[in-house]
């Protein structure tokens, strides 16, 4: 049996929190009611002509998405949206139990869930979260904002970048383990692109004494193999939270919609402490369309096109002089590559010069990650369209030639050695 006890793990003031309620929690609007309860403007907002057909379907302009009136407050519970998210992740691969809207918190991107979890479980100035660098930077930012300390257990060296399970279990068994309330794991990792082993996550969830919450950030899960998501596990493990987002595979970074799958008890805490109307009407309507059969068809077609370009980068990047090893996995929509100096070694000075030169002279923006743990000399490259990838490949080849100052003959010798090493 899990040692997790919500009553002793969560902050007492959060456990005692009564969520904000409005009259529509008691009297549901069926579309025919006269709504005089929330001090809204019944005449509606000023809107540009280009979008009034979307927001006011009665105008007869044939809306693509039926958006509700913006003069009304959003649904604070988002049950239809949550059910669509459950439908998406209910694969019955990991369990026969069903996910339900009670297992979900939805918010402004995954970042709201990251912060809400820290506020729910960590006492400022006393408690800690565990992170495994290199990883997503918002875990540490949210911890600092909330005056919460970090316990850092680095990932095992690349290119695998897997969890150091013995060290994590040791930290969760230490004398001050009771102050470690949350453990954040990114899978597929950012910036590593590596999918974490399910058995590693399972070993941490099976810790016999630690009373804390395991958080798995699956922002890039749709680029991983089918059924890789652990969202279904939340019905089996009371202290698991699985975060996801529509920003990546769904191409909806601009609507800022994130979800956290978890136990009904933890979901209830997160929903109690959130702002009353954190997900707006437009975000909700677009997200519901994206999760419909028509929306999923588009997402999967776009994902297939991105995966084709990801495979292209995997083929062509090793042929460019100055490009080193792929550091990390291929289960995301980005790749992490070393940039090499004239001696064939990964080099932050070279990587930074390539990063700056690509942006300033070639109009191509990637991400320098060389200061992250285990990422010496690395650039993180997002997979783009076919035209964008073509432009990037041409640009980085020229930029590396310029930065490294290596003549064509030594370049050719270097690539011949690299090709021999690959064959070997």
Which tens digits make up the pLDDT trace of 37-63? 788 888 777 766 655 555 444 444 444
322 within 8 A of 395, measured Cβ to Cβ: no
What residues are paired with 242 via a beta bridge?
Answer: 216, 261
203 within 8 A of 183, measured Cβ to Cβ: no
Could you give phi then psi for residue 215, rounded to 5 degrees?
-115, 120
Full set of structural domains in the chain with CATH = 6-22+73-291 (3.40.640.10), 301-423 (3.90.1150.10)
Q: Which two tokens stand for residue 338?
A: 């070393």
**SS3 labels along 365-410:** CCEECCCCCCCCCEEEEECCCHHHHHHHHHHHHHHHHHHHCCCHHH
What pLDDT is recorded for position 60? Answer: 44
Walk across the sheet containing 378-382 and list its strands. 323-326, 334-339, 378-382, 367-368
What pLDDT is recorded for position 92? Answer: 86
What pLDDT is recorded for position 43? Answer: 79
What pLDDT is recorded for position 235? Answer: 96
- Find tokens 């902050």 and name the residue: 11
Per-residue pLDDT of the chain (424 residues; tens, 9 = 90+): 789 999 999 999 999 998 887 777 777 777 788 888 788 888 777 766 655 555 444 444 444 455 557 888 898 999 999 999 999 999 888 888 999 999 999 999 999 999 999 999 999 999 999 999 999 999 999 999 999 999 999 999 999 999 999 999 999 999 999 999 999 999 999 999 999 999 999 999 999 999 999 999 999 999 999 889 999 999 999 999 999 999 999 999 999 999 999 999 999 999 999 998 999 988 999 999 999 999 999 999 999 999 999 999 999 999 999 999 999 999 999 999 999 999 999 999 999 999 999 999 999 999 999 999 999 999 999 999 999 999 999 999 999 999 988 544 455 555 554 444 333 3
Task: State how far Cα 149 lies from the chain centre.
Answer: 22
Residue-wise pLDDT for 247-296, tens only, equals 999 999 999 999 999 999 999 999 999 998 999 988 999 999 999 999 99
What pLDDT is recorded for position 67? Answer: 56
Q: Can you say whether the dihedral through the CA atoms of 139, 141, 146, 147 is positive or negative?
A: positive
Output DSSP code: residue 69.
P
Half-sphere exposure of 273 (CA within 13 A, CB side): 23
Q: Cα–Cα distance between 210 and 346 in angstroms, integer?
A: 39
The set of residues, in sequence order, having a beta carbon less than 8 Å from that of 6 and lying 6+ positions away, is 15, 238, 265, 266, 269
Percent of the chain with pLDDT over 70: 90
């Amino acid at each position: 049996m899990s040692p997790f006890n919500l009553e002793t793990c969560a902050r007492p003031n959060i456990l005692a929190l009564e969520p904000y309620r409005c009259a529509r929690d008691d009297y549901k609007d069926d579309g025919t009611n006269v709504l005089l309860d929330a001090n809204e403007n019944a005449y509606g907002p000023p809107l540009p002509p280009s979008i009034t057909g979307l927001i006011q379907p009665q105008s007869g302009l044939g809306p693509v998405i039926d958006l509700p009136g913006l003069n009304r407050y959003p649904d604070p519970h988002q049950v239809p949206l949550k059910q669509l998210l459950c439908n998406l992740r209910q694969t019955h691969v990991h369990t026969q139990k069903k996910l339900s809207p009670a297992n979900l918190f939805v918010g402004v991107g995954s970042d709201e869930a990251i912060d809400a979890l820290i506020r729910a479980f960590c006492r400022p100035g006393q408690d800690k979260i565990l992170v495994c660098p290199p990883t997503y930077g918002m875990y540490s930012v949210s911890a600092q904002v909330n005056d919460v300390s970090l316990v850092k257990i680095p990932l095992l060296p690349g290119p695998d970048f897997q969890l150091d399970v013995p060290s994590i279990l040791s930290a969760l068994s230490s004398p001050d383990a009771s102050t470690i309330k949350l453990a954040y794991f990114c899978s597929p990792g950012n910036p590593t692109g590596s999918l974490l082993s399910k058995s590693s996550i399972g070993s941490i969830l099976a810790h016999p004494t630690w009373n804390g919450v395991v958080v798995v950030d699956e922002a890039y899960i749709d680029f991983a193999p089918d059924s890789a998501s652990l969202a279904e596990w939340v019905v089996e493990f009371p202290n698991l939270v699985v975060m996801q987002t529509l920003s990546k595979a769904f191409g909806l970074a601009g609507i800022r919609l994130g979800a956290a799958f978890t136990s009904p008890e933890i979901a209830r805490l997160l929903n109690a402490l959130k702002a009353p109307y954190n997900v707006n009407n437009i975000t909700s309507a677009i997200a519901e369309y994206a999760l419909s059969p028509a929306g999923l068809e588009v997402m999967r077609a776009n994902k297939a096109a991105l995966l084709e370009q990801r495979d292209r980068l995997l083929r062509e990047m090793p042929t460019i002089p100055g490009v080193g090893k792929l550091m990390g996995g291929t289960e995301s929509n980005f790749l992490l590559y070393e940039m090499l100096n004239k001696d064939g070694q990964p080099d932050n000075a070279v990587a930074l010069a390539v990063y700056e030169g690509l942006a300033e002279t070639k109009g191509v923006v990637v991400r320098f990650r060389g200061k992250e743990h285990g990422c010496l000399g690395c650039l993180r490259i997002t997979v783009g369209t076919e035209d964008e990838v073509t432009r990037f490949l041409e640009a980085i080849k020229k930029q590396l030639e310029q930065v490294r100052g290596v003549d064509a003959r030594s370049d050719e010798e270097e690539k011949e050695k690299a090709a021999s090493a690959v064959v070997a």
